[in-house]
Homo-oligomer: A and B are copies of this chain.
Amino acid sequence: MKALVVVAHGSRRQASNDEVRELTASMASHDSEFDKIFAGFLELAEPSIPDAIRQAAAEGAGEIVVMPYFLSAGRHVAQDIPEEIDSVRGELADIEIRLAPYLGKAEAITELLLKQAQVDEDQPA
């Protein structure tokens, strides 16, 4: 079983955390190579990154991809998220855990932004 953990920063504003949870629920409804998709948070919200990875493993994942839902490669992406992942590798030694590139690095983001810029704010988007 293959799982994806989408990692967001986490916010004191619960609506922002819920937006991430809704996003991963929406992703799970699309066809993809992932059997299950989880949300995890670097700070300020639950579950933490290690707990999200543990949950994926507990639900039977043998391969887990962790993807930072971040727009730029700051310290969180370059250092904090890899460290969080490394903190559970020992206890989950049988499971392949891989870090995917962060969202902002996606080449297709340019087209998405151009498309989004043409959406009227008063239309459902």
A interface residue numbers (CB < 8 A to B)? 4, 6, 8, 11, 13, 15-16, 19-20, 23, 26-27, 30, 32-34, 65, 67, 69, 71-75, 98-101, 103-121, 125
Contacts and interface: CB of A to CB of B under 8 A. Distances in A.
A113 B103 CA distance: 7
B119 A101 contact: yes
Q: Which residue of A71, A74, A103, A121 has the most chain B CB atoms within 10 A of its CB atom?
A: A71
A12 to B, nearest CB: 9
Given A8-B71, A16-B72, A27-B110, 5 more contacts: A71-B71, A98-B120, A106-B119, A107-B125, A112-B112
Contacts of A101: 116, 119, 121, 125
